[in-house]
Chains A and B, each alone.
Chain A
Amino acid sequence: MTRKQRRLTIIGGSIAVLAVAAALVLNALRDSIVFFSTPTMVAEKHIQAGKRFRLGGLVQPGSLVRGDNLVVSFQVADGGATLPVSYKGILPDLFREGQGVVAEGALDAAGVFKADTVLAKHDENYMPKDVADALKKQGHWKDDYGAKPDASRAAQGAAPAGQGALR
């Protein structure tokens, strides 16, 4: 093999691997990404039943109903609309009525959001970023979601930052 042929072999191999990787990435991006919506967006967009998405909002106070065998249902609200959610399993430690939640799943034929994953905030100050953005956009953002009145500078950075240090 000449120097040129060797170099071509290596370059050709690299291009082949990169092409395969690009194909894998494009394929995976088509099939396995999940969009984020709020109840208002769900009401406006008419998302089909069975299409997976992430739902974010506040748990409507007083809406949490625990059934038998860990079945729970609650309503997620964003000020504009509410959407009923049903879930079977153990809710996260920090799941609370009136506070932020992100659930992943799909709508069923009756328009109930069947969640298979529920993520709650990790901290008393934490608001899922998507939820906070969506609420701000609709003008329902209250300052006390983000900051505690006492230590003014404290609340902004501290507790969430502590979380950031997790990894």
Chain B
Amino acid sequence: MIAEAGHYALVLALALALIQSTLPILGARWRDAALMNVARSAALAQLLFVGASFAALVTLHVTSDFSVVNVFENSHSLKPLIYKITGVWGNHEGSMLLWVSILALFGGLVALFGNNLPLSLRAHVLAVQAWVASAFYLFILITSNPFLRIANPPIEGRDLNPVLQDIGLAVHPPMLYLGYVGFSISFSFAVAALIEGRIDAAWARWVRPWTLMAWIFLTLGIAMGSYWAYYELGWGGWWFWDPVENASLMPWLAGTALLHSLVVMEKRNALKVWTILLSILAFSLSLLGTFLVRSGVLTSVHAFATDPTRGVFILLILCIFIGGSLSLYAWRASALKQGGLFAPISREGALVLNNLLLTTACATVFIGTLYPLALEVITGDKISVGAPFFNLTFGPLFLPLMIAVPFGPLLAWKRGDLLGAAQRLMAAGIAALVMVAVVWAWTSGGGAFAPLAIGLAVFVIAGALSDLVERTGLFRMPLGITWRRARGLPRSTWGTVFAHAGVGVALIGIVCETTWNSEYIGSMKSGDVIPIAGYQMKLDSVTQHQGPNFREMVAQFSVLVHGEPLGTMTPSKRNFSTRAATTTEAALMTRGASQLYISLGEVTNDGTVAVRIYHKPLVLLIWFGPVLMAFGGMLSLSDRRLRVGAPKPAKSLRGLQAAE
């Protein structure tokens, strides 16, 4: 009953989406306000029905109704409740339903909070949003219906893939989807602007909060996925340049570029045509990501062969939306008026450089991800492009970007003073050089690369802080004035500081982890002690336990420093009998920002255990950086000029800051 209701709600949502994708456009053409307003109510009703459909699927999973194929295949009555719920999106059908639910959520939010938009723009945006939604409803209903029944219901389900029974997976896909799908809003705005043939600075101000929101979620989602891979897959790596990871990185790079070009458009009414293109690209890359993950075309640790009709269907959606929007762009972009002029050395120039490097880096990731596929189709050769490719292409492109980051906020709009900016970055430069020297001396003549990279990271962080010092007049003025200035700074300025510093923090983590990682891989017996990075790891015992839907073998390690006990670590290996699968649960011990990491290999008959033990210095900074970036994004999102929404003349606060 619930399954049928869920299915029916989904069909109704499709019907509403079809209405929403046509009537408002006609309304805009005929200047009929009532028809244009259909978009708003249709979007809200669509959200209601797809929400009901999603709730139905969750209910089916929670009540373990094994007469539904999707539940049978991915659930088990003994599975803990939390994984019954997260199992809803731990499979193809359910995750596609989550995808459209989030799409409808964003549509509903635009409908609710878009009251300050011109009526025709809102109608167009929601209509475009509904085109995308209709395509995906059709995809779900035709190829991946999660509500199918089994004729003879089995008593027990086949259980969720054990690797996915993890709290990280509870949060990671929804986050990532909020990011992916969030870019659909900027896409819809871009297409709507192209249809209307009109675009101005106000457009950028409307689009920016949505883009920022999507970017925040995508940043957190990628970081969380990386941390999940780090502790769950059991080999201590946090980024594999795997096609599916690249699929989430590409929209992030394009989205980051878009955020920056929107600033130029909002402040200076320039780069309009480019910004529209980036909006289209960011969502196209999100669609491409969905295609790569869902169709199984790529050989990957994560992407698996799925039903080919699904791949073809998503490819079709991909071609229609990407091809269609780019054709519309080619046709209409020339009609958009060009904006303001600026000198190459200026804030705009710096942001153009940022865009150039980010999109080029994105293009190299794109080539590395799709080249093997293209080659296989053309010549039949099977190749794999791994980390070395990306280190050789992505790395060198990010280097100049890192150097340029601190300069950007210090340059004035229209015509900047590079020498002046360099002078103001003197302190940051000195801090970076000192850091290089210290790290070099401390590691006593190791490679020059790591100290230089850490120096660069310190330059980025200190550069972000110097911008703050400059604006608040810290060290130059009395503290009271500094305090008032700091409070008066727009939150978006604080956001910039945190986000840029976050990049530097992540870079420090990446460099430290890859350069000074210590590892021991070998076999141990009870009582053996392994020294690693100043710690002694003693294997105390190996015991067996019974969990709710698995059996596990737990090894207990004591961690000692100079003979003093520090604590215990208990990595385990779980055996899920329903799936005949084994997972490795790594044990982590956090020491400051560094971590000790143990994961188990196989156990031999004489009681020796194969173990991997790592000491990963400052590894947590890798994820702390993105969290800082996302925090910066949230500060920026809370900036009053975005909350106020409709563009208004600048308030008196502006007078306080020099470079704004």
Contacts and interface: CB of A to CB of B under 8 A. Distances in A.
Interface string B576-588: 0001111110000
Contact of A24 (B172, B242, B396, B612): B396
Nearest to A24: B393
Nearest to A12: B344
Interface in A102-131: 104, 119, 122-124, 126-130
Given A32-B392, A122-B163, A129-B296, A1 B364 contact: no
Contacts of B299: 128-130
Interface residues on A, range: 35 or more
A106 to B, nearest CB: 14
A156 interface: yes
Given A90-B601, A158-B74, A163-B161, A28 B388 contact: yes
Contacts of A151: 69, 72-73, 150, 158
B602 interface: yes
The interface centre, meaning the residue of B352, B382, B583 with most chain A CB atoms within 10 A of its CB, is B382
Contact of B95 (A69, A156, A165): A165
A161 B94 CA distance: 10
B92 interface: yes
Given A93-B582, A161-B92, A33 B73 contact: no
Given A91-B601, A151-B72, A165-B91, A160 B304 contact: yes
Interface in A43-86: 54, 66, 69-70
B341 interface: yes
Nearest to B295: A164
Contact of B381 (A35, A70, A146): A35
A158 B305 CA distance: 10
A160 B341 contact: no
Nearest to A148: B158
B111 interface: no
A91 B521 CA distance: 12
Given A6-B342, A34-B384, A122-B163, A164 B582 contact: no
Contacts of A91: 601-602
B92 A156 contact: no
A167 B245 contact: yes
Interface string B529-560: 00000000000000000000000000000000
Nearest to B583: A93
A164 B302 contact: yes
Contacts of A104: 384
A25 B364 contact: yes
Nearest to A54: B384
Contact of B164 (A9, A10, A89, A166): A166
Contact of B344 (A13, A69, A127, A166): A13
B392 A31 contact: yes
Given A1-B343, A34-B384, A66-B604, A18 B161 contact: no
B305 A160 contact: yes
Interface stretch (B38-46, B197-205, B355-363): B355-363
A166 B602 CA distance: 24
Contacts of A1: 343-344
B610 interface: yes
A18 to B, nearest CB: 6
Interface string A127-167: 11110110000000000001000010110111111111111
A9 B356 CA distance: 13
A162 B164 contact: yes
B521 A94 contact: no
B89 interface: yes
A166 B244 contact: yes
Contact of B161 (A35, A70, A130, A162): A162
A93 B576 CA distance: 12
B586 to A, nearest CB: 12
Nearest to B375: A33
Interface string B232-255: 001000000010110110000000
A69 B601 CA distance: 12
A113 to B, nearest CB: 16
Nearest to B73: A158
Interface string B140-155: 0000100000100000
Contacts of A130: 299, 382
Contacts of A164: 92, 293-294, 296, 302-304, 306
A18 B393 CA distance: 12
Contacts of A20: 396-397
B389 interface: yes
A100 to B, nearest CB: 12
Given A6-B343, A9-B344, A29 B371 contact: yes
A157 B343 CA distance: 55
B336 interface: no
Contacts of B164: 162, 165-166
A35 B341 contact: no
Given A151-B69, A158-B74, A163 B579 contact: no
A90 B393 contact: no
A17 B356 contact: yes
A118 to B, nearest CB: 11
A11 B356 CA distance: 11
A3 B338 CA distance: 13
A167 B244 contact: yes
Interface string B328-356: 00000000000001111000010011001
Contacts of A13: 344, 353, 356
Contact of A124 (B172, B225, B397, B579): B579
B304 A123 contact: yes
A154 B159 CA distance: 13
B173 A165 contact: yes
A167 B94 CA distance: 14
B386 interface: yes
B51 interface: no
15 contacts: A6-B342, A24-B392, A28-B393, A31-B392, A32-B389, A34-B383, A34-B386, A93-B581, A122-B163, A151-B72, A158-B92, A160-B306, A162-B91, A164-B293, A167-B242
Given A24-B393, A159-B158, 17 more contacts: A25-B364, A93-B234, A123-B161, A124-B579, A124-B581, A127-B305, A129-B296, A151-B72, A158-B73, A160-B304, A161-B91, A163-B304, A165-B90, A165-B92, A165-B164, A166-B164, A167-B242
Interface of B: 69, 72-74, 89-95, 144, 150, 158, 160-161, 163-164, 169, 172-173, 176, 225, 234, 242, 244-245, 247-248, 293-294, 296, 299, 301-307, 310, 341-344, 349, 352-353, 356-357, 360-361, 363-364, 367-368, 371-372, 381-386, 388-389, 392-393, 396-397, 521-523, 573, 579-584, 601-602, 604, 610, 612
Nearest 10 A/B pairs, CB to CB: A161-B92, A90-B601, A160-B304, A32-B388, A36-B382, A158-B73, A28-B392, A167-B244, A93-B582, A162-B161
